[in-house]
Amino acid sequence: MHADWQTYRQLFVAGFRRQTAYRLAMFAGLATNVVFGFIRSAILFAAVESAGGELAGYSAGTISAYVWLSQGLLGAIQLTGAAEIGDRIRTGDVAIDFTRPVDVQTWHLAEDLGRAAYSMIPRGVPSVVVGALTFGLVMPATVLPYVLGAVSIVIGVAISFYCRYAINIVGFWLLDTRGVRSLYMVTSTFLAGLYVPVALFPDWLHTLAYLTPFPSILQSPIDVVSGQVTGLDAVGVVGMQVFWLAVTCLVGRVLTTAGRHKLVVQGG
Amino acid sequence: MMADVLEVATGARPGGWAAPYKAVLASRIRAQRAYPAGFALDIVGSWLVGLTEFGELFVIFHNIGILGGLDFHAMLLLFGLSNLSWSIADMVVGHVDTLPTYVRAGTLDAFFLRPQPVLAQLVTSEFSLRRLARLTVGLVTMCVGLVINDVTWSVAVVGLLVLAIVFGTAIFAACFVAAASLQFFLINGAELTNTFTYGGSYASAQPAAIFPTPLKLVFGFLVPVAFTSYLPTLWILGLPGPSLLPTWLVWLLPVAAAWSWAMALLLWSWGCRHYQGGGG
């Protein structure tokens, strides 16, 4: 029943290759990221300056790193709530998917990781470069944050995928998941720390945010890569991410099993 | 029926030129009430979007007292004005961003055959009531902003508010049309057009004093969204403007709106000419 590692590796490559067909879309995404990055940098620079040069542990240089890393990761983490599985449930194609000798959730994960990996080339890296050239940013000078950061980013992308998968699986019960998806997009972007870093939140909102998997998708990888948290603290942050990875994966699996029982295949 | 067709064909329309638009819009509004549950969820969703944007403002001012020369109270007025004008524009013309769907499906050809301008048909192709939710967020914040700040009421202040809402909406509407025009060229690059619409809205809700010079030029003059809310806020509160954007510029709001529309319509006609049709 379960496919081997090779199959998932090929699905990963397929997900990567598929994106190479949409170069213009990637460029458009980059341009959008950059414009929003400019506006957000201006706001947060002014905020740091107004606070006297230091704001919730950020300096002008590190808050700039936060802005441009988050703009760069936006393409990879996809907070929009859309996932292909949603379309396949709506059209009924999912019935065929269940008969294939692969695990449906892991299959879509492999493809999504491929998609995310590709987006780092035309969107991720250029965003950070533009930020460095225009507003300037401060990044760690040692290797360790980048190594741990890379792990953290991959986990973040996977958590984001598992969340979107779970949201879309709800389509087994709801005819139209558009409403649920838009609610998800609004909450997740805010609590993931896309508009303002979670460290700036008031205590109650800060606590609330960390009770959800959302900071693990964006804020945590950025904290680790940019060296905002280091040493054992950084390992702790990644540990927290692993916890949310397990939780969101499990929720998706339980929902898939339940949805599968509800699925009625008509005709043949 | 035949008589109607003839009248349209000869240009003599019963009930004046606006009658066909009215009939179309009324049917769109009726259609949205057909699915009350989806409609309610949509309303909650749009309302939440406004709320999170306000949340960003709230979180920033939880940490600091002044941003770009404006305090929290002044920011409420700025945020409210920007959101109000933008959501009116979004309600009236926001759906022109569905253009690529028509282009891709080849159904845009039909628009060119009908006896109404293509842009007018797209604008009346929907009138989304759910966008009223965003509008209320803007309206409430603006009113709170007007009450909470020490506004010296005069005819000029009321006049400026009306001017800001009318021409501010026009500027945002022009952004939507300009963005849609680019869609003729960028079928798969729809995200780029977000820079005009959502980017413009986002920039307009910030005190432009925080922008470095290039951004001030872009959002002050090229895509003049600073006119929609920032300059009116400065004038109403009697605050001085930053370099490049003195407060008195606010009275040039109609000029900024005219410039935006000239650019938007130019892009639109350019896009229409570029359009090749779907064949068939």
pLDDT band at B260; cut points 50, 70, 90: very high
For residue B3, what pLDDT is reported? 43
Give the closest-approach CA distance of A3 to chain B in angstroms: 34
What local confidence, expressed as pLDDT, does residue B206 receive?
Answer: 93
**Alpha carbon of A192: minimum distance to chain B alpha carbons (Å):** 12
Task: Return the structure tokens found at A35.
Answer: 């414009």
Q: Taking a C-beta distance cutoff of 8 angstroms, is the pair B85, B168 a contact?
A: yes
Residue B17: per-residue pLDDT:
72
- Written as one string, the DSSP assignment of B20-84 is HHHHHHHHHHHHHTT-HHHHHHHHHHHHHHHHHHHHHHHHHHHH-SEETTEEHHHHHHHHHHHHH
pLDDT of residue A176: 74
Check residues B209 and B26 and name the one with the higher pLDDT.
B209
Contacts of A69 (CB under 8 A, 6+ apart): A128, A221, A222, A225, A226
Q: Supply B148's token pair.
A: 């909470």
Mean pLDDT in residue range B28-50: 75
Q: Is A32's Cβ below 8 Å from some Cβ in B?
A: yes
CA-nearest residue to B51 within chain A is A186
pLDDT given at position B38: 66
Which of B35, B54, B56 is best to mutate for the A interface (most A CBs within 10 A)? B56
Q: Do B202 and A36 touch (CB under 8 A)?
A: yes
Each residue's pLDDT tens digit, B122-178: 777 766 676 788 888 899 999 999 999 988 899 999 999 999 999 999 999 999 999
Whether residue B67 and residue A46 make contact (CB cut-off 8 A), yes or no, is: yes
- pLDDT, residue B80, reads 95
Tokens 């997009």 sit on residue: A185
Q: What number of C-beta contacts closer than 8 Å exist between A and B? A: 106
- The residue in chain B having the minimum alpha-carbon distance to the alpha carbon of residue A186 is B49
Determine whether the interchain pair A178/B48 forms a contact, defined as Cβ–Cβ distance below 8 Å.
no
Closest alpha carbon within chain B to A195 = B56
Q: Which SS3 state, helix, strand or coil, does residue A107 take?
A: helix
Give the mean model confidence (pLDDT) for residues B184-200: 77
Judged against a pLDDT cut of 50, whether residue B44 lies above it is answered with: yes
Query: How much is the pLDDT for B279?
Result: 57
Among candidate residues A122, A134, A132, A157, the one with its CA nearest the CA of residue A31: A122
A141 φ, ψ (degrees, to nearest 5)? -95, -5
Instruction: State the average pLDDT for chain B.
Output: 84
Query: What's the pLDDT at B11?
Result: 46
Best mutation target, A19, A35, A123, to test chain B (most B CBs within 10 A)? A35
SS3 B157: helix
Per CB-CB distance under 8 Å, the chain A contacts of B199 are: 32, 35-36, 39
* Sign (positive or negative) of CA dihedral B190, B192, B196, B199: positive
pLDDT in tens, A16-70: 888 887 777 788 888 888 999 999 999 999 999 999 989 989 999 999 999 999 9
pLDDT digits (tens, 9 = 90+) for B224-257: 999 999 999 999 999 999 989 999 999 999 999 9
A136: left (phi over 0), alpha (psi -120 to 50) or beta: left
Give CA–CA dist B109/A191, Å, rounded.
43
Please name the helix (run of DSSP H) or strand (run of DSSP E) that holds residue A117, with its range, or none: helix A104-119
Q: What is the pTM of this model?
A: 0.87
pLDDT of residue B148: 93
The residue in chain A having the minimum alpha-carbon distance to the alpha carbon of residue B50 is: A186
For position A145, what pLDDT does the model report? 93
pLDDT attached to residue A97: 84
Q: Please say whether the beta carbons of B211 and A135 come within 8 A.
A: no
Residue stretches of chain A with pLDDT short of 50: 1
Interface of A with B in 1-20 (CB under 8 A): none
Residue predicted with more confidence, A197 or B115: A197
Q: Which candidate from B38, B67, B211 shows the least CB-CB separation from A176? A: B38
